[in-house]
């Protein structure tokens, strides 16, 4: 019995995928424009135009009473010349809930309110312009991280949610909000649809840009060689080490702020162990699915900026308008090298070793899905270690949606290119760029 197989012309495949990308893009933009509150607004450019030192000041917002000492500094925050709130830094300040009579100490906080309310509570309090440039820069630098709250981490870029003008919120360091306002809404369904389409667009783009990278013979030989018992033991031992570190809080979420030296040391220690085992011929060269050839490396590196452009455009719905140079060029470069060394270690293990191992064991499709799930498991354990169960809605969405999709993108890029450098570069840039791009 003959099986009829339809083999499409490469040009037809190219056009079909291109049409799918266009249709998915139009649908994603439609969802974004119809559900702005659910999907979130792009990071906004807040401006602190002046900083004041005030005399002792007590004011009331809703059922909260706030007392500031004379050593407090107040910086009005503007968004396109509209007053959005004030950043306060104080050595001695407290907030009292008049309903419960509970008092808590305040350090730095961002009070969102409209200009009318601000001028009303300001009253007759004396504000003196702060003329110390060094102190102004220090206060402004500390405020920049505070006035970005609250946020929900997307695939790469923070989704900023600003309360409407008629609401009042006090954002404390660490992301806590007092009181929580109904103006901050979060509807999972449109966001899931939107980012699901974004991931589909990126996957189709990766396939489109790697159609001519033919490595079938090399991959056929690779997948024909099944893992040996020693490689099974090595993979199991490495996973146990990483999962144990995650349960102890040593591995953190897929965010730039959580990249620490202990994580870099852990991954590079595992890599050194794998290379030693390879040199001792305990595991074979097939354990590392690393393709060679300058053509493959060059093409794969070119794909990275294309993927970044798609993610930036869909995550922010606009192009970057500038760069936030929060430090010197040398410090920025060192920070990127830190992220890249971390990303290279992570990708060498998860993609270069474990994904290759699982694909040789179970095939390309199932291997990619398994490594995606396993990559998410330490992040779930780390989130559980910090937040407990049940996970808060935001953390649950990250663990069960954003983290797996990010891992799927990285794994598919590696599967199509077999280029570890491009995957590590993409991983590092996803961590690095949100902190310096201004929209």
Could you list the pLDDT tens digit for every one of the 439 residues in the chain?
A: 455 555 678 888 889 999 999 999 999 989 888 877 667 666 566 788 889 988 888 888 777 888 888 888 888 888 778 887 888 888 888 888 888 878 888 888 888 777 777 778 887 888 899 888 888 888 888 887 777 666 655 555 556 655 555 567 787 766 666 654 444 445 578 888 888 999 999 999 999 988 876 666 666 777 777 888 888 899 999 999 998 888 877 776 666 656 778 888 899 999 999 889 888 888 876 666 665 566 667 777 889 999 999 988 887 777 777 776 666 778 888 889 999 999 999 999 999 899 989 988 888 899 999 999 999 988 888 877 777 778 777 778 788 888 899 999 999 999 888 888 899 999 999 888 877 776 6
0.85 exceeded by the pTM?
no
Q: Using CA atoms in the order 398, 368, 415, 342, what is the torsion angle rounded to 10 degrees?
A: 40
120-129 — which CB contacts under 8 Å span 24+ positions?
121/59, 121/60, 121/61, 122/59, 123/59, 125/54, 125/55, 125/57, 126/54, 126/55, 127/52, 127/53, 127/54, 127/74, 128/52, 128/53, 128/54, 129/50, 129/51, 129/52
Domain ranges of the chain: 47-147, 188-438
Per-residue DSSP letter, 127: E
Task: Find out whether the peptide bond into 390 is cis, omega within 30 degrees of 0.
Answer: yes
């Amino acid at each position: 019995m003959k099986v009829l197989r339809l083999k499409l012309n490469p040009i037809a495949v190219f056009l079909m995928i291109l049409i799918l990308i266009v249709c998915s893009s139009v649908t994603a933009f439609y969802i974004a424009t119809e559900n702005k509150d659910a999907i979130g607004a792009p990071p906004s450019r807040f401006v602190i135009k002046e900083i004041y030192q005030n005399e002792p000041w007590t004011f009331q917002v809703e059922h909260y009473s706030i007392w500031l000492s004379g050593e407090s500094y107040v910086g009005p925050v503007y968004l396109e010349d509209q007053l959005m709130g004030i950043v306060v830094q104080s050595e001695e300040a407290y907030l009292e809930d008049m309903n419960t009579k509970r008092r808590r100490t305040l350090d730095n906080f961002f009070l969102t309110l409209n200009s009318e309310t601000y001028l009303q509570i300001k009253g007759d309090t004396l504000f003196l312009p702060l003329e110390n440039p060094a102190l102004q820069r220090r206060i402004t630098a500390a405020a920049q991280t505070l006035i970005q709250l609250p946020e929900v981490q997307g695939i790469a870029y923070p989704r900023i949610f600003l309360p409407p003008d008629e609401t009042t919120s006090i954002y404390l360091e660490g992301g806590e909000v007092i009181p929580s306002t109904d103006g901050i809404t979060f509807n999972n369904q449109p966001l899931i649809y939107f980012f699901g389409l974004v991931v589909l667009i990126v996957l189709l783009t990766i396939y489109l840009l790697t159609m001519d990278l033919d490595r079938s013979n090399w991959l056929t030989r690779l997948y024909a060689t099944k893992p040996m018992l020693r490689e099974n033991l090595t993979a199991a031992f490495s996973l146990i080490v990483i999962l144990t570190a995650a349960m102890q809080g040593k591995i953190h979420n897929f965010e730039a702020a959580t990249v620490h030296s202990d994580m870099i040391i852990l991954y590079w220690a595992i890599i050194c162990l794998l290379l030693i085992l390879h040199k001792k011929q305990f595991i074979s060269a097939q354990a590392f699915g690393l393709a060679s050839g300058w053509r493959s490396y060059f093409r794969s590196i070119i794909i990275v900026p294309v993927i970044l452009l798609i993610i930036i455009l869909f995550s922010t719905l606009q192009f970057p308008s500038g760069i936030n140079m929060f430090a010197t060029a040398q410090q920025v470069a060192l920070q990127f090298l830190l992220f890249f060394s971390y990303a290279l270690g992570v990708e060498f293990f998860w993609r270069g070793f474990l994904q290759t191992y699982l694909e040789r064991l179970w095939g390309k499709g199932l291997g990619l899905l398994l490594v995606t799930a396993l990559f998410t498991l330490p992040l779930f354990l780390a989130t559980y270690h910090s937040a407990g169960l049940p996970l808060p809605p935001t953390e649950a969405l990250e663990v069960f949606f954003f983290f797996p999709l990010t891992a799927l993108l990285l794994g598919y890029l590696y599967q199509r290119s077999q280029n570890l450098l491009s995957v590590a570069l993409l991983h590092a840039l996803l961590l690095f760029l949100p902190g310096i791009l201004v929209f």
